[in-house]
Amino acid sequence: MHQTGDQNNKLCVYVIRTYSEQFSIILNCRYC
């Protein structure tokens, strides 16, 4: 279960680095 949390964390970091800040914040709130 902790592994899934780590994967979500990495996904958020990837989204934040890839997409704009506003879009990343939205995904960060929904998936993290």
What is the structure's pLDDT at 2? 58
What is the structure's pLDDT at 31? 55
What is the structure's pLDDT at 6? 75
What does the domain layout of the chain look like in residue ranges?
A: 2-31
What is the structure's pLDDT at 5? 67
**Model pTM?**
0.31
Q: What pLDDT digit, counting tens, does each position of 1-32 carry?
A: 556 667 777 877 777 777 666 676 676 666 54
Instruction: Give yes or no for a contact between 28 and 11, defined as CB atoms under 8 angstroms apart.
Output: no
What is the structure's pLDDT at 3? 62
Ordered alpha helix ranges (H), 1-32: 2-18, 21-31
CA separation, residue 24 to residues 1, 2, 4, 6, 10 (Å):
23, 22, 19, 17, 12
